[in-house]
């Protein structure tokens, strides 16, 4: 297989282009960008709680959005899970993992909320036991 020159720095985890000295600086730059973005998102998350900048009932949604954005930043800049040619399998596995995580979380919350809702009040339970 002939290797096409990769100028975009899009490398799967484990892919190595150490032969190219420019790759080092590109790598450092990527981590610095990731650190700055993640830092900004972290500061935004912590300041959203008490700053009063965000309409009160919307704060949980804003926090979740910020967390998802920061996880995306970590995935792209730190773990290098991108849409590069050798990353297709990683991306597919990630999509499957996200599906299972969502099923576990949403399923548990839904079922437990439903059970809570269906539970008999204690005084009614006592009456039935007589």
Residues forming the site for other proteins (CB under 8 A): 1-4, 8, 10, 12-18, 23-24, 27-28, 31, 34-35, 38-39, 42, 45-46, 48-49, 59-60, 63-64, 66-67, 70-71, 74-75, 78-79, 81, 83-86, 88-90, 93-94, 96-97, 100-101, 104-105, 107-109, 112
* Closest CB 122 distance from other proteins, rounded Å: 15
Give every CB contact of residue 91 below 8 A, 6+ residues apart in sequence: 81, 82, 83
Q: What proportions of the chain, in percent to the nearest 5, are helix, strand and coil?
A: 75, 0, 25
> Which value, to the nearest 10 degrees, does the dihedral of the CA atoms of residues 110, 112, 117, 123 take?
180
Least spacing, CB of residue 129 vs other proteins, in Å: 23
């Amino acid at each position: 297989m002939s290797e096409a020159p990769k100028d975009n720095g899009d490398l799967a985890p484990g892919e190595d282009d150490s032969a190219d000295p420019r790759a080092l600086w590109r790598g450092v730059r990527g981590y610095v960008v990731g650190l700055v973005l993640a830092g900004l998102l972290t500061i935004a998350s912590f300041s959203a709680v008490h700053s009063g900048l965000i309409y009160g009932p919307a704060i949980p949604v804003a926090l979740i959005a910020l967390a998802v954005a920061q996880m995306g930043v970590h995935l792209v800049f730190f773990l290098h899970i991108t849409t590069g040619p050798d990353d297709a399998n990683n991306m597919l596995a990630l999509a499957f993992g996200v599906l299972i995580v969502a099923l576990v979380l949403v399923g548990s919350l839904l079922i437990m909320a439903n059970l809570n809702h269906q539970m008999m009040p204690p005084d009614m339970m006592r009456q039935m036991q007589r």
